[in-house]
């Protein structure tokens, strides 16, 4: 219950009342996504990507469980078992393509969801815990996607596993033993494949658990909104059902159209052709690149080509890549501005736009080969990325003069003052 | 409460049904149809895959099987008994009145006309699916000289019909045809 005027769940049937006494699950659902959750009346379409991320998580879990029924996690036959899914299993090609492209759609949804939070100050008080849990979900999703990509045991799978576990080698003193511990060997092989399969199966359920906590943490302060102004009365909200269930339903339909279009007409457009070559420990592909959703972080990793004081370049790259995401954990305390929404922060708006372009540039460089001019551009873009969070945001919150905020959500929508008497 | 209900959507038409009720039902039905269509391939994937179905028929060369011998082979990952019956075994099977059996079938029902000596059955006891003895040299053939399943004591006669014990039906004769005198296709 986020607001005192939220509609109370009142079961009308005998069964409903009995259920409500024994295990109030219907009440829980009603209060989470039903009429029992009053949401701000002015949410724009940027607020639809949370439900889409949830939808694609479900798609991934369903298709993933099915794929696991046919896949064999053994280095000798993993690649062939994927081909068996593609050629022999009824609708197997469709289920595998749904899983491969569903990962991309999950990340599209989650990136837009994160970007929405960054712009509208959704990470600020009283929603810090909500934001922190969101970052945890993102980190878990990264780990899950990486391990899933290894399973087909193609060239990109193998060398991706080798390169990413090789990052841990950069840790001073204990790096090498840690890498061997992670792989269960000196290079990716059966042991690594088996544990990646096990963890790839486990982690999505951990994600689902954190998602539940994420929604729980959302429902205590209630949703943020495009004005960033707190909800002040019943008129500022509408019941989640039917208003936002219908709105979410509409974008779910839209997303599924794009998703199926990609799945049926361009199923390999986002993949890398090299992963259709079986893993070969003795030959490296010309360009080892991750899937598109990791390109920005990959660019930051590769930007550090120089040693700094006593820290070798390899370690710097690893530290920078992890810091690029870990910095999000500190965001609620780096951005001190009392104004939540970027709509009322003229300078912030400009810098936010630059940050989006910066991340897109990083993404392009991450997908490009590691040669000039991309290395140089990566270095500049990576420097700006960190400057945005560590320098620009803290300074902005002190120097910027925000525009006047509306008195209430209702006033910003209708132009008439909120009638607090009702 | 701030609502966006306007007069024309909230107006009850004939019989108290609103436009919105129709739209609700139509939308939910459409989504339901989509969900059902999606579930079909997600369930169908559990059916036998193409590589499994590809193994559903085999060709066996039976030229080496002497009279009185039997071989075991494998079809759909299950044992198959191919038995070349002796004159005595054929006579023994035909001497029994099929009508009195638990699963009434004559030897002629269970073999190909003109090739009555070739008894081809699944080597799977119809009781609980164990593999009966009697096909290989020296195995116990049971009280009726056919096959014997020691697990729960089912006795089959020379036509592989159940005669004693818990099994409900005769050993299954799979669909088969003789492509020539020496090659039989099963499945």
Residue B17's pLDDT is 84
Whether B27 contacts A249, CB under 8 Å: yes
CA pair distance B113, B111, nearest whole angstrom: 6
A43 closest CA partner among A243, A217, A221, A197: A243
Q: Do A92 and B49 touch (CB under 8 A)?
A: yes
Residues ≥6 apart with Cβ < 8 Å to A401: none
Q: Which residues of B touch A238 (CB under 8 A)?
A: 1-4
Residue of B nearest to A260 (CA): B38
For residue range A22-43, what is the model confidence (pLDDT) as tens digits?
Answer: 999 999 999 998 899 999 999 9
CA triple A190-A192-A196, angle to 5 deg: 115
C-alpha dihedral, A67 to A71 to A73 to A75, nearest 10°: -130
Choose the weakest-confidence range: A41-50, A88-97, A162-171, A187-196: A162-171
Residue B1's pLDDT is 44
For residue range A321-372, what is the model confidence (pLDDT) as tens digits?
Answer: 999 999 999 999 999 999 999 999 999 999 999 999 999 999 999 998 888 8
Q: Where are the alpha helices (DSSP H) in A120-235?
A: 128-150, 155-168, 175-183, 190-219
Q: Do B41 and A95 touch (CB under 8 A)?
A: yes
Q: pLDDT class for B14, splitting at 50, 70, 90?
A: low
- Tokens at residue B22, please? 């129709």
For residue range B128-165, what is the model confidence (pLDDT) as tens digits?
Answer: 889 999 888 888 888 888 899 988 889 998 889 998 88
- Tokens at residue A17, please? 């009342």
Shortest CB distance from A88 goes to which of B2, B44, B50? B50
A99 flagged as catalytic: no
Q: Which residues of B touch A237 (CB under 8 A)?
A: 2
**Sign, CA torsion A402/A404/A406/A407:** positive
User: How much is the average pLDDT of A114-140?
Assistant: 96
For residue range A67-83, what is the model confidence (pLDDT) as tens digits?
Answer: 999 999 999 999 999 99
Shortest CB distance from B45 goes to which of A90, A238, A249? A90
CA pair distance A255, A206, nearest whole angstrom: 25
Residue A421's pLDDT is 53
Bigger pLDDT: A4 vs A214: A214
Residue A1's pLDDT is 52
């Amino acid at each position: 219950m986020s607001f005192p005027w939220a509609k109370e769940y009142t079961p009308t049937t005998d069964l409903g009342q009995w259920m409500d006494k024994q295990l109030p699950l219907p009440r829980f659902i009603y209060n989470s996504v039903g009429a029992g959750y009053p949401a701000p009346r002015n949410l724009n379409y940027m607020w639809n990507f949370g439900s889409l991320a949830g939808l694609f998580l479900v798609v991934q879990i369903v298709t993933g469980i099915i794929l696991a029924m046919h896949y064999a996690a053994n280095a000798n036959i993993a690649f062939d078992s994927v081909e068996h899914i593609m050629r022999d299993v009824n609708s197997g090609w469709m289920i595998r393509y749904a899983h491969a492209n569903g990962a991309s759609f999950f990340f599209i949804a989650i990136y837009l969801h994160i970007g929405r939070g960054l712009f509208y100050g959704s990470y600020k008080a009283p929603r810090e815990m909500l934001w922190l849990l969101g970052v945890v979900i993102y980190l878990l999703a990264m780990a899950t996607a990486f391990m899933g990509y290894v399973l087909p045991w193609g060239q990109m799978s193998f060398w991706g596993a080798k390169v990413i576990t090789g990052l841990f080698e950069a840790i001073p003193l204990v790096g090498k033993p840690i890498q061997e511990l992670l792989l269960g060997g000196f290079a990716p092989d059966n042991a690594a494949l088996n544990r990646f399969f096990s963890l790839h199966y486990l982690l999505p359920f951990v994600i689902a658990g954190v998602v539940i906590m994420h929604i729980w943490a959302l429902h205590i302060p209630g949703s943020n909104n495009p004005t960033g102004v707190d909800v002040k009365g019943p008129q500022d909200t509408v019941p989640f059902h039917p208003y936002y269930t219908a709105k979410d339903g509409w974008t779910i339909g839209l997303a599924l159209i794009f998703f199926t279009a990609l799945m049926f007409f361009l199923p390999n457009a986002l993949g890398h052709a090299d992963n259709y070559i079986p893993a070969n420990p003795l030959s490296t592909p010309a360009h080892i690149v991750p899937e598109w959703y990791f390109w920005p972080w990959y660019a930051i990793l590769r930007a550090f080509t120089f040693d700094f004081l006593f820290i070798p370049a390899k370690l710097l790259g690893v530290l920078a890549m992890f810091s690029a995401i870990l910095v999000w954990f500190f965001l609620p305390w780096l951005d001190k501005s009392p104004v939540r929404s970027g709509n009322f922060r003229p300078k912030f708006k400009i810098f936010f736009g630059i940050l989006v372009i910066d991340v897109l540039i990083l993404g392009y460089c991450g997908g490009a080969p590691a040669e000039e001019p991309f290395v140089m551009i990566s270095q500049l873009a990576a420097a700006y990325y960190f400057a945005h969070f560590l320098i620009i945001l803290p300074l902005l919150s002190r120097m910027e003069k925000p525009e006047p905020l509306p008195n209430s959500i209702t006033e910003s929508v209708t132009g008439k003052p909120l009638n607090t008497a009702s | 409460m701030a609502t966006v209900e306007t007069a024309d959507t909230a107006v009850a038409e004939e019989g108290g049904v609103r436009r919105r009720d129709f739209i609700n039902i139509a939308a939910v039905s459409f989504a339901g149809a989509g969900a059902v269509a999606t579930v079909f391939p997600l369930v169908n994937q559990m059916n036998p895959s193409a590589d499994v179905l590809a193994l559903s028929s085999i060709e066996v060369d039976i030229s080496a099987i002497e009279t009185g011998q039997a071989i075991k082979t494998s079809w759909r990952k299950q044992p198959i008994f191919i038995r070349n019956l002796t004159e005595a075994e054929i006579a023994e099977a035909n001497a029994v009145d099929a009508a009195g059996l638990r699963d009434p079938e004559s030897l002629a029902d269970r073999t190909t006309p003109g090739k009555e000596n070739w008894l081809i059955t699944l080597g799977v006891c119809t009781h609980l699916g164990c593999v009966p003895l009697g096909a290989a040299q020296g195995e116990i053939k049971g009280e009726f000289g056919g096959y014997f399943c020691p697990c729960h004591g089912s006795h089959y006669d020379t036509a592989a019909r159940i005669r004693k014990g818990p099994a409900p039906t005769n050993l299954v004769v799979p669909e088969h045809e003789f492509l020539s005198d020496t090659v039989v296709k099963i499945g």
